[in-house]
Structure formats: C-alpha cells, structure tokens
Structure 1
Amino acid sequence: MHASEFNVEKFVDIIEKENGTISEVYFVACGGSLVDLYSSCYFINRESSTMTAEWITSKEFVLTPPKKLGKHSVVIICSHGGNTKETVEAAELGVKEGAFVITYTHTPGSACDSEKFHAIVYDWEPETLQKDRPLGLNYSIINELIHRQEPEYKLYEGMKDGITKCDAIIRNATKKFQNKAWNFAEHYYNAPFLYIMASGSAYAQAYGFAICSLQEMQWMDCCYLDSAEYFHGPFEVTDKDHIYILLKSVGKTRMIDERAEVFLNKYAEKYEIIDAADCGMDAIDDSCVDYFNAPLFYEMSVLYRTAIQNKSGHPLDMRRYMGVVEY
C-alpha cells in the first residue's frame, strides 16, 4: 500500500480483526529510521492505559525479543531502503510470533515491501505531508487504537487536528529560522565538537541530529543529551569554548529545557536555542502539542545540516563506510 492510499479507520479494522485488543507496541528500526519512531513510543507510554510500548534497535529485537511479543502485539518496523538485514529479520520474527507487523519503507519492491507484512510505502520529498510519513502514520494509527480501546481517551480530535496543522507550522518555521541556521553554520561549520540537547518526546531528535545529520552526513564529532541529564554529569564541561544546540520544546517538558537554557546563559558563550515556542506551535491543542515538537525539530535538523553542508562543502550523501565496505 502506498501512504497516499492509507485509511486509518480501515487499517485499524484489520488490526482488530486479525489481532484483537492490542497490549504492546514495539517500534523497531536502525539509525535515522529508529529516530522517526521514538515520539510514538513516548506517546503510547504517556497517554495509553491499555498499551505499553518499547523502542528497540533491530538487532537487539532479534537477539533478545520481548517475552510478551505475541498475538496481542503490534510491531512497527521502518527501513528507508527496505533491505536492512537486521530490520527485515525483526519483521519476520514478529510475524513468526503472531504479532501484527507493519513495515514502512521508501523503496517499492524492497524486502520490507512484502505481502508477508502490512507494508506501507511512503514518499520522502520536501513536499511530502507529515500524515504520509512514518511519524505521522504512527500517530494516526496509535491515536485510532487508543480511541477504540479506551473510552476515557481525550486527545483523539486534538491529535488529528495537530497532524493536519503541523505541515504549515513547520514550513513557516523553517523559513523563519533560515537566516539563523546560515549564521550558525558561518560560525561553527568546522567546530571540533557539538552537544545537542532535547527533552520529552523530542529527545530522539537530538539523537538523530547528532548521529545522522552531523556524524553520518557531515563527519562531525558530537554528542546528544537529554536536557534533564545535562545536570547529572555533562554540564561539568560547560565553558566559553564548548558549543551547544538546545532544542527547546513546548509542552510538559519545556521547564527541563528552560533550566538548561538558564545554565547556558550563565556559563556558556557558544550556544544555539531553537525554540518551538517561536514557531507557531500555539495553533496545536495544548493537551497534545508535546508530540509535535518531534517533526518540527527534525525539519530544523535538516535546515541546519544543509546550512553546514553548504558552508563546509561536504556532500550530505558522501560516505566512508556505509554502503561502501563490509560491516
């Protein structure tokens, strides 16, 4: 199925018919694809009273599968290329154990685009809407599942509204931050080290910004941190020379990021604040706005890595090892 043909009500009908009530959801992938799944895992564990969720790398899922994996589980797999060996193995394990296995891939005809799974092929162009990308598809499925399983659930309409509204918010925000990204790149494109911080459902965007956008695509040394954990060790290296990027969320964990910002204001000199509150997020219902920090900050990471690439001259697609040597 192509994402443009996806109908969440009919899809969840199939889940209910084949697997009944769902009690566990496992989000399984590698690298950037794993990043896309984190906020959905966070969403379930904060908002559902009938389901729990786990976020697991593909090989770990295969080698140490959860004991509860079975008939009442959904396994959500993502592989952009569709042929990542350990991710395909994870999907096959889910089927073997009787779970409802959803595979997302950008590549039609790949191993993940198989009739063995409930496969969804997505586009990944700048104009592709969030509702048609893995993160948005996840939100739609989870929102519908919780709504059907939990009569007391309150976020159903707010989440649907947020999925619809977030594209315009993100487009406007990236335009607003373009010059800021260029200026950051002008000063720090050859920085020896960067720290990237975020909190809550957006934590994996710091992770993805570091390991994918900068380490993989720009060969820059950097570290990702939970903004709360900054104060439990990492803040000891804060000084006028270390460089920080803080992804400052709106919602329930904002105070965590604010605390980090106060410390940076006092003890650091080189830091960048990307504040979701400056991006029009007030258009999304307060009850669920937390979950839309993730797609916003993903696009901000794209904006900043592109600005760095334009300054450094290092092509985003150039690799030393990935897809080049055996590993």
Structure 2
Amino acid sequence: MLETTLLGFDETTFRAQTASAVALRPQIEEVVDRLRAEGFANLFLIGAGGTYAAMWPYEHLARRSSTLPVRAVIAAELIESGDATLGADSVAIFTSVSGTTDDSLRAIEYCKQRGVTTIGFTGYPESPIAQAVDIALVSEPKTWPFDMQMLLFMTRLLSERGEFEGYERFADELQVLPDVLVQVAEQAEPAASAFAEAHAGTDYHFLVGGGNLWGFTYLYSMCILEEMQWLRTTRVHSAEFFHGSLELLEEDTSVIVFQGEDETRALTDRVERFAKRISKDVTVFDTKDYPLEGISPEFRGLLAPLVLDTVMGRVSKHLERVREHSLDLRRYYRVLDY
C-alpha cells in the first residue's frame, strides 16, 4: 500500500493509532458487561479542555437515546462544586492523550474518595492517569481523538440496555476506520490547503456547530485556533446562533460551519443560509461530502466528530504552514504556573 504524501501526516502512525483504539473493543465490551452485571446508577464523562468538549457527543447520544443519567463534567469544577449524584454507584470515564493532565488526576482522586468506579483511556500504561484509575484501557501512544473508544463504550452500553440497535454490525464496521479516515484526510487536503492560503492573515473566526458536533466546534475554536494558533474566535451552538451572536457578523467575517448528519442538521443549515446573506467568507465543512466506504448510512452521523477531526487536522497543518506558527508553540499552557 502506497503511503500518502499529505503535509505533516504520518500515515503509518495514524493507521496504527486508529487501529489500536478500535482493537480495544473486546476489553471495552468486557468492562461494559461487568458494569451492567454489577449495576450502577449514573455515568460521568469527565475531562479538561479538549477532553471535556470531546465528551459532549456521548452525553448528547445518551440524552436522546437513553434513560440512563449521563453527564459531561469539567474536572476542576467537579472538585470545587461537587455533585450530589456522584457516589459509590457512579461510573466515571476519563481520557488523556498524555495521561498526565493535572485537573483530571485530581478529579480521579476526588471520585475514588467517594467510591466511584473510574475508567481511563490513554496511550501510556505507566502514566499517572493509567495508574490512578480502576480500569485503564490503553491504545497506541498519542492516539487522538478518543471517539473510537467512546463510541464503542457508549453504543455497547446502550445496546445492552435495549437503547441502541445494530451494535454488533456497527462495531464490526469500525474495523474499516483506518482506511476510511486516511481517505478522508486525502480528500480534505486540497480544501484544507485552500482555506489556509485564503486565511493566512485572518485573525478572527466565527465557528458554528450543533448536535454531536457542538463539542468539536468548541474544541477546535478553543484548543486549536486559540491555544495553538493564538487566533481570536467566537463559537456558538447552531441552535443559539440567533440569540445574540449573529450580531457579530460582518461582510468580511470568516464563518466556519461544521455540518454533520444527525437530527440537528436543519439547525445548522438555517445558520448557513443566514450567514451567507451577511458574510462573503463562509466555509462549510460537511461530513456528508465524504463517502465513508464500509459504514452503513444509519451509522454515519455517529462518526461526524471523528470525520471532522480528521478533516480539520489537515486544516490545522496548513494553517501552521502558512502562518509560520507551530501547533506546538505555547506562551502560557504548561509553561507558567497557574
């Protein structure tokens, strides 16, 4: 198999990381089945920054599909504010690329002091987070995002509760993700390069998304454009766009629309139509544009955060190139004490 020649894209590593996440399926199923057998009252999805935002699609999935209480929580806020429903009959999931995130480590300790069963997804078995949780599920180092693992966990759990149909077929289809996502990256490359070239000097972007893409919208705005590129952004849920934020639009405002394939698509379509009436610089990144061969139509919407993470990963690399601003450069994050 010939490797791609995409900017800053290590296909071998990308494939290995994606495959390693999908390969956790037997372990994830064993954990879910054990939790179900033992019984638990609620599920907390706990993160910090990007790992918090990346939990939102799975809170959203549970909210619309299940009667199980599932809540995405900011680690640092949980420690300070607490939660009256968090206790010995709770389960908490954490994700961390490095396995060293301080807020998450403190939240794990907070949970364990209250008898909560803690589960961690990371790429480093000897990391502090892997060592701290009750159950560590380890992929290849630096595997991101955690959507593969979270999709397997949540759909297995909902399936066992009779709240998700076709789990076995869906989980089987995830085996094609290494191929599918490489194809997504290849298809996205020209548009990613063109967007970066057109916006090399743009210092403000307005981002909109909804449904299971709202978390990614928040993440890309804050963790990539702001943290990694030091750009100013506004981010707004497509359902909330018409309640204030639309007043910021001008003719030259760069509007980035993230469009998925779930039931909230019409909300984002409405924003796109309006934005194009005002701004001459509206860019739509739509998961529907990608074939995703081997994925059944009824499952495509679930993969939207993962698909757009791949697409926008190409945009990020090209922004790094045209702006001559490394994605690894920080002024404050993990540089200064706070």
Cα gap change, 1:257/1:124 in structure 2, threshold over 3 Å: closer, same or farther?
farther
Deviation at 1:158, TM superposition (A): 5.2
Partner SS for 1:244: strand
**Worse overlay, 221-230 or 114-123:** 114-123
What is aligned with 2:204? 193
What is aligned with 1:29? 47
Q: Counterpart amino acid of 2:136?
A: A
The counterpart of 1:7, out of the listed 27, 30, 50, is 27
Deviation at 1:31, TM superposition (A): 1.3
Structure 1 residue runs of 4+, over 4 Å off?
2-6
Partner SS for 1:136: helix
Deviation at 1:186, TM superposition (A): 0.8
What is aligned with 2:13? none
Deviation at 1:57, TM superposition (A): 0.9
Deviation at 1:220, TM superposition (A): 0.9
Q: Counterpart amino acid of 1:104?
A: F
What is aligned with 1:48? 66
The counterpart of 2:139, out of the listed 122, 137, 142, is 122
CA distance in 2, matches of 1:157, 1:239: 48
Deviation at 1:162, TM superposition (A): 5.0
**Worse overlay, 107-116 or 186-195:** 107-116
Contact kept? 1:196, 1:225, Cα under 8 Å:
yes
Cα gap change, 1:260/1:122 in structure 2, threshold over 3 Å: closer, same or farther?
same
Contact kept? 2:119, 2:133, Cα under 8 Å:
no
TM-score by length of 2: 0.86
CA distance in 2, matches of 1:38, 1:92: 22
Deviation at 1:115, TM superposition (A): 5.8
The counterpart of 1:143, out of the listed 155, 169, 189, is 155
Q: Counterpart amino acid of 2:289?
A: D
Deviation at 1:147, TM superposition (A): 2.0
The counterpart of 1:180, out of the listed 185, 188, 191, is 191
Deviation at 1:155, TM superposition (A): 4.4
Cα gap change, 1:171/1:156 in structure 2, threshold over 3 Å: closer, same or farther?
same
CA distance in 2, matches of 1:207, 1:44: 19
Deviations for 1:48-107, whole angstroms, at most 9, x for unmatched residues? 13x121111111111122211123321001222222222112112222222221012233
Write the mapping of 1:88-107 to structure 2, written as runs, cut at 5 A: 88-107=105-124
CA distance in 1, matches of 2:173, 2:53: 20
Partner SS for 2:208: strand
What is aligned with 1:248? 259
Cα gap change, 1:124/1:182 in structure 2, threshold over 3 Å: closer, same or farther?
farther
The counterpart of 2:316, out of the listed 305, 315, 320, is 305
CA distance in 1, matches of 2:215, 2:81: 22
Cα gap change, 1:236/1:221 in structure 2, threshold over 3 Å: closer, same or farther?
same
CA distance in 2, matches of 1:36, 1:168: 23
Partner SS for 1:114: helix
Deviation at 1:195, TM superposition (A): 0.8
Deviation at 1:9, TM superposition (A): 2.7
Q: Counterpart amino acid of 2:31?
A: F
Contact kept? 2:206, 2:256, Cα under 8 Å:
yes
**Worse overlay, 185-194 or 2-11:** 2-11
1:275 aligns with 2:286: yes
Deviation at 1:42, TM superposition (A): 1.3
Partner SS for 1:224: strand
Instruction: Give the aligned length.
Output: 317
- Percent identity reads 22
Name structure 2 gaps, 5 residues minimum.
1-19
CA distance in 1, matches of 2:94, 2:132: 14
**Worse overlay, 303-312 or 22-31:** 22-31
Deviation at 1:116, TM superposition (A): 4.7
Deviation at 1:285, TM superposition (A): 3.7
Deviation at 1:326, TM superposition (A): 0.8
Name structure 1 gaps, 5 residues minimum.
none
CA distance in 1, matches of 2:50, 2:256: 19
How much is the aligned-residue C-alpha RMSD, in angstroms?
A: 2.2
The counterpart of 1:112, out of the listed 129, 151, 157, is 129
